[in-house]
Amino acid sequence: MIQGILAITGKPGLYKLISHGNRMLIVESLTDKKRLPAYGTDKIISLADIAMYTDADEVPLNEVLASVKKHENGAVAAIDPKKASADELRNWFAEILPNFDRDRVYNNDIKKLISWYNILVNAGEDDFSSPEEEKTEENA
């Protein structure tokens, strides 16, 4: 579940929410496990609040990440976001989300998606089910 995973503008990588402090959050880096404060002045966004544009509607990031996981068979992405050309990135992403909006999804968005996916898989945070799916499974 990506509900407690955060992206902080200006700081590389992804962070797991650990605790709430006085006017700040305590977060832990998924890459090096270091804990640090994130203040109210930082732009912090939960991955659960992010969506990707398609021709019809927006698709929540957890669904896109689940498609990437299925495409890559649960392994780290085979494409290198730093070395791939724009055409390679767009062709790869078209296999993941065929109807993505080619005008509003930029190459940097695709690079960030690949980078985040790799961080999550390497950290063992590869449960991309939505909170609603988890509640349904618990009640069953």
Whether residue 136 contacts residue 6, with contact meaning beta carbons closer than 8 Å, is answered with no
Which pLDDT belongs to residue 119? 94
Tell me: pLDDT of 36 over 70. yes
What pTM, to 2 d.p., does this model score? 0.87
Residue 39's Cβ-side half-sphere holds a number of Cα atoms within 13 Å equal to 2
- Tens digit of pLDDT for each residue in 41-90? 899 999 999 999 999 999 999 999 999 999 999 899 999 999 999 999 99
- Predicted local confidence at residue 132, as pLDDT: 59
Q: Which residue has the tokens 């977060």?
A: 27
Complete domains list, the chain, with CATH: 5-47 (2.30.30.730), 49-131 (1.10.10.1650)
Structural contact between residues 109 and 79, judged by C-beta atoms closer than 8 angstroms:
no
pLDDT confidence of residue 61? 94
Residue type, 37: P
